A and B are shown apart, each in its own frame.
Chain A
């Protein structure tokens, strides 16, 4: 892989991180809402006079370095971020934002990772078959209903799934990451229980996302089928399975990976809302609780950390592309 491409791609990644950090720094300072004052108001909701409030606000502003000139705050902020110091939660003081995220993150990574992988694989397989002439018509009619599902946001589909499979039939739990009374540990019972809780949230992502992958793959397969090398392969009398896999799928699947890199942000945004609907203990729920309790540092911390995580995932996918497709020369 040419080193120039890698360097440029890593550069873009760093640029994204820096831009996200700067937005996180700038927006709260441009906003009329003063997080320190807001949180103090919450803490001291009873009996603090205007004068006392001002003194308190000043003390805390000094404590958080908010009385420094802006450029100095900015540099401190960037160096804090570089050390993964995202500040303290206001609601759960003195818990550090980074620690809250570390607890919640594995849930999100497992849920989103598995759901994305499943919907990508299943959708791509269905799409490939939909474009293959040998396949019976029954598979081909699966497309339109799948596509209709993909028009529904994940979490709304999730609500419907909860109603059908947790409220009406009670096949799956209503929500949460594991049953009440269990402690998160690496035992088979706990993992089984966690899996049972993960099925509906994952299903709402997979069902809603499959259609898009199927449609993309079908379109690419149709394009590839018009290529000369396909005609040649048929003329040579190669067996249809080989033409399908090695000539058709092998070529049609590459744009799917490009789309995968582009869709990570969308999927994670959607998954955050799925977690809220299912009260799933990932970062989405952490974000929701933070928004409800005006816990600004947690909001900004979660947003920043997710942007970094997705940037990293996209970077890895992009760096893998030239390996998957040797024709790509950057």
Chain B
């Protein structure tokens, strides 16, 4: 497919494009922001504490002397990184489970698919709280990503499995099987390319689940204490009762960024959904 055709498609799928643009803008904020703002201001004690917004500190400073604009610029990529790592792990585990369960069936399918269903009904945040409180103090962004990825594999497993189940009976898969192609090759060469939009949607879902869980853990105070992720910024905001003191410039920006992340991810997955289900296009 040529580049111009891809561009045409991208424009046709407005929702997908909007989502991609929002997420790209947030990534850019983390990449380009440090060129304009001195991010060393995100360190404790780098500024006079409790300042209201001014030219020097557009979002003011917090009680331990961090410039809140720097905190946002440093924190946004940290939170996105957690989502990315956990999303990759979640999609990886989900793909392995989904393909094995869906393609081979039998006992393996019962166990994997059953586990996914059971874990979906369990309040995952609580399991994460138990894990995170046992490792409290030693958490950084990477370990937190590992912890939240424990929650990010169930939806990918379900989606991929159900797609593989229907695809398995298609003609071209049967032909490949009867001509003696190995199961692994069929999965990688025949199925995966056809499931790309589903894999992409599963990935986006896993990223969203992971970010939601990470922010939840952080709001409980179980995140990295020394890294200003968005959730930790909210935790400190709660800790210093900023909402009740009306310090809007402190608590609102991290919330807005988080909302943008979720709206962006949601638009991407809704956009992908339209590509996969043409039926939805006419009705919306």
Q: Which residues of A pack against B, CB within 8 Å?
A: 12, 15-16, 19-20, 23-24, 27-28, 30-33, 147-148, 151-153, 155-156, 159-160, 162-163, 166-167, 174-175, 222, 261-262, 264-266, 268-270, 272-273, 276-277, 287-288, 291-292, 294, 296, 299-300, 302-303, 306-307, 310-311, 314
Contacts and interface: CB of A to CB of B under 8 A. Distances in A.
B10 interface: no
Contact of A299 (B133, B248, B262, B266): B133
Given A156-B255, A310-B122, A311-B122, A167 B244 contact: yes
Interface in B187-205: none
B122 A20 contact: yes
A266 B122 contact: no
A310 B262 CA distance: 26
30 contacts: A16-B121, A19-B118, A20-B122, A23-B127, A147-B266, A151-B263, A152-B262, A153-B216, A153-B258, A159-B243, A160-B255, A162-B243, A163-B243, A174-B244, A262-B120, A265-B121, A266-B123, A268-B123, A269-B126, A272-B126, A276-B219, A276-B220, A287-B129, A291-B129, A291-B220, A292-B221, A299-B133, A300-B130, A306-B126, A307-B127
A272 B234 CA distance: 15
A262 B121 contact: yes
B7 interface: no
B220 A288 contact: yes
B125 interface: yes
A269 B244 CA distance: 24
B259 A27 contact: no
B121 A153 contact: no
Interface string B226-269: 00000000100010000110101001100100110011011000
Given A264-B123, A299-B130, A310-B121, 15 more contacts: A12-B118, A20-B122, A23-B130, A33-B136, A152-B262, A156-B234, A159-B243, A167-B243, A262-B120, A262-B121, A265-B124, A269-B123, A272-B126, A273-B216, A303-B130
Identify the 9 closest CB pairs spanning chains A and B, nearest first.
A31-B134, A269-B125, A265-B123, A151-B262, A303-B126, A269-B123, A151-B266, A314-B121, A156-B255
B272 interface: no
Contacts of B127: 20, 23, 303, 307
A188 to B, nearest CB: 29
B138 interface: yes
Nearest to A163: B243
B88 interface: no
A167 B121 CA distance: 36
Interface residues of B, number: 42
Q: Which label, helix, strand, loop or mixed, suits the secondary structure of the A interface? A: helix
Contacts of B2: none
Contacts of B248: 163
Contacts of B114: 12
Contacts of A268: 123
A265 B221 contact: no
A155 B219 contact: yes
Q: Considering residues B222, B234, B243, which has the most beta carbons from chain A within 10 angstroms of its beta carbon? A: B243
Contacts of A307: 122-123, 126-127
B283 interface: yes
Given A27-B130, A167-B246, A273 B121 contact: no
Contacts of B118: 12, 15-16, 19
Given A266-B123, A269-B123, A303-B127, A162 B244 contact: yes
Contacts of A16: 118, 121-122
A30 B134 contact: yes
A176 to B, nearest CB: 12
Interface string B14-36: 00000000000000000000000
Contacts of A152: 258-259, 262
A311 B127 CA distance: 14
B131 A27 contact: yes
Given A222-B283, A292-B221, A311-B121, A33 B215 contact: no
A306 B123 contact: yes
